[in-house]
Amino acid sequence: MTTSLVDIHQGSPLSDRARGLANGGYELQDGSWVSFNRWYHSNWVDMHVDFLTQLTENSGILWGFGTGEQAEKYRIQPSFKLGFLTQTHPSPDSTLSLSVTTTFGGNLTEKPCVADYGDLGTYSVNCRLAAGETAPEETLKYLVNARPERLRLWLNYRVTF
């Protein structure tokens, strides 16, 4: 059996989504600006590494992992990918391949803030909505809680001429 590196990359749709949460900010009662960027900036972007372990000439196990990513107000869990790849040759110049992979872990979870509303009290809130018109306790249902693509089916037909 031979194991080969298939892909290595940083970033994912969930990393992009987390980075998008950094847009904007709000103004405090004293007029000072609070940017979301400091809460949603990560020094490390989720890295994915994928391998193929060949079982036969035309099949193998696809596997890999994601390192995860975090900042003060969000976390992407580490992930593990597992799948299967097979191919056949309908003609000497063509290849039909099929792969199926599934991902475990890798969820994106946004964390709440604690906001002091003076006479109204202190609440756990969605940081991005704390200064809006939504009631503090209602903002929590808008925290991002997302999962990565769990199942991927890939069918490819290639003809060489």
pLDDT of 58-115, one tens digit each?
Answer: 999 999 999 999 999 999 999 999 999 999 999 999 999 999 999 999 999 999 999 8
Place of tokens 């199926």: 100
Tokens of 125: 């809130």
| Residue 12: half-sphere exposure toward Cβ, Cα within 13 Å | 26
Q: How confident is the model at residue 1 (pLDDT cuts 50, 70, 90)?
A: confident
Q: Does residue 118 register a pLDDT over 90? A: no
Question: Is pLDDT above 90 for 131?
Answer: no
| 66 neighbors 47 (Cβ within 8 angstroms) | yes
- Nearest of 87, 79, 91 to residue 59 by alpha carbon: 87
The residue among 86, 49, 45 whose CA lies nearest residue 64 is 49
Which residues does 80 contact at the CB level (< 8 Å), separation at least 6? 63, 64, 65, 66, 103, 104, 105
- Angstrom CA distances, 74 to 18, 114, 141, 156, 157, stand at 7, 15, 15, 36, 40
What per-residue confidence (pLDDT) applies to 67? 97
Distance separating alpha carbons of residues 53 and 83, to the nearest angstrom: 10
